Amino acid sequence: MNQNLISDKHNFGETMKKVVEEIEISTERIQKLMARSGLGSRRQIEAHLAAGYIQVNGELAKPGHQIKPGDLIEFEKRQWLVNQDDDEQATDVIILHKPLGYITTRHDPEGRKTIFDLLPKPRNGRWVNVGRLDINTAGLIILTTNGELANRLMHPSYEMDREYLCRIHGNPSNGELQMLRDGIELEDGQAKFSDIVEGTASENNRWFNVVVMEGKNREVRRLWEAIDCQVSRLKRVRYGPIFLPHTLRPKRFEYLKPKDVRVLFKEVGLETARGILQLQPVKGRKARKNAAHVEKKAGKGAHSKAANVWDKKPKKFSKKR
């Protein structure tokens, strides 16, 4: 047999082995992984890393630290084990039919009801809502455990249109409706409806389906108010490619099917959900066991080196309202 052919086969096999290893073992920067898991924004995570509040396998981590499956992350007296999930449902996405009277913040100082009281416990990380609806608006809200997916769905550059069903008190003329299509200057800039579809009408009220391309605060209501019409009912029925099912009742939610999750990933230019790293919370005895294992693996000196900083109380994440 030709010796060169044997050599070429050997080199090809070694090359393919390296390629397979690179495919099968994922790594990711720590700030990106923690942000995607809902533990804060990348900027917040980077600040905590710089301050010495995050450890990986018992050692202080720095911004840019590459995380791999099997690593143990410690932050705010909690632990997460890094897993590589090959399931196409690694990213959970649910759609919720928000009822009237609920707010979309995680906690409310006034004690009002919040949509997070209606949600199931996530498998990993925490739920991140894609946009908000005010307390007097009902309809579709998308929530996901993937912070990067949520951020892209909300970012104007990806042009995710939002469709609303609204009941208007008033009788706008064709000219006024065209003004809403062309654009009206509001206090925070110009806004418009990219589409308006007229529905049924009664003596004092008319129904419309309208579409906006941005998520400005109370944008739909303010546009109608600009032509002296009042919104008496408002419901979001679509966000991008996702519609609110007619069978989904208020206060109810349902998980998106894997094929629908893949559609969302594709819409915002994200890689497939297959094979991404996930953070699995570690609790109770398992957490103590992991901590002991990490200390033994890292060595007493390495653990003691980080102790002074680690014993400090971490700063709490700022909450955006």
CATH class held by domain 161-229:
alpha beta
Pair of tokens at residue 162? 């939002």
> What phi and psi values does residue 167 have, to the nearest 5 degrees?
-105, 125
The band of 288, judged by pLDDT with boundaries at 50, 70 and 90, is low
Domain ranges in the chain are: 6-86+281-310, 87-155+240-274, 161-229
The band of 96, judged by pLDDT with boundaries at 50, 70 and 90, is very high
Please state which architecture CATH assigns to domain 6-86+281-310: Roll (3.10)
- Extended beta strands in 123-204, E state: 128-130, 138-144, 162-169, 184-186, 189-191, 195-201
Model pTM score: 0.65
- Between β-strands 195-201 and 205-212, what pairing exists: parallel, antiparallel or unpaired? antiparallel
Q: What is the pLDDT of residue 256?
A: 93
SS3 content of the chain, % helix, strand, coil (to 5): 35, 30, 40
Tell me the fold of 87-155+240-274.
Pseudouridine synthase (3.30.2350)
Q: Do domains 6-86+281-310 and 161-229 have the same CATH topology?
A: no
Count CB neighbours of 259 within 10 A. 8
**Catalytic residue (one of 86, 87, 134, 195):** 134
Half-sphere exposure of 4 (CA within 13 A, CB side): 0
> What phi and psi values does residue 84 have, to the nearest 5 degrees?
-105, 110
**pLDDT (tens digit, 9 = 90+) per residue, 178-220?**
999 999 999 888 999 999 999 988 878 899 999 999 888 899 9
Answer yes or no: 260 catalytic.
no
- Between β-strands 195-201 and 189-191, what pairing exists: parallel, antiparallel or unpaired? unpaired
**pLDDT (tens digit, 9 = 90+) per residue, 4-26?**
433 444 454 454 444 444 445 67
